[in-house]
């Protein structure tokens, strides 16, 4: 996989993380995440996501989604989860 062909995958991963965070924040229950940094490192065999939060409130965790660049948007599927380190209180 070349750097150019990885761009759609990286962009898709970024978009899905953003959508997941926004979806968590959009529910009627108050929830918030303050990102410190978010980094994507792509190699021929894998894509590594690294992020850090400054604050997490009322979330259980993060879902990580992916799909191949040629697949339709409905093809996104969860490939991993990360438990939140902050509060899950309602």
What whole-number distance in Å separates Cα of residue 79 and Cα of residue 89? 26
- Structural domain span for residue 64: 3-83
Residue 89, in any domain of the structure: no
pLDDT of residue 74: 94
**Residue 32's pLDDT band (cuts 50, 70, 90):** confident
Residue 15, in any domain of the structure: yes
Residue 10, in any domain of the structure: yes
Residue 16, in any domain of the structure: yes
Residue 37, in any domain of the structure: yes
The mean-pLDDT minimum among 9-13, 24-28, 52-56, 68-72 falls in 24-28
Residue 90, in any domain of the structure: no
∠ at Cα 89 (88, 90), nearest 5°? 120
Residue 88, in any domain of the structure: no
> Into how many domains does the chain fold?
1
């Amino acid at each position: 996989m070349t750097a150019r062909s990885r761009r759609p995958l990286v962009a898709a991963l970024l978009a899905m993380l953003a959508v997941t965070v926004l979806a968590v924040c959009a529910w009627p229950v108050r929830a918030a995440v303050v990102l410190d940094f978010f980094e994507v490192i792509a190699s021929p065999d894998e894509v590594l996501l690294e992020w850090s939060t400054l604050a997490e409130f009322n979330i259980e965790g993060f879902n990580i989604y992916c799909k191949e660049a040629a697949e339709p948007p409905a093809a996104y599927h969860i490939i991993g989860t990360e438990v939140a380190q902050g509060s899950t209180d309602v």
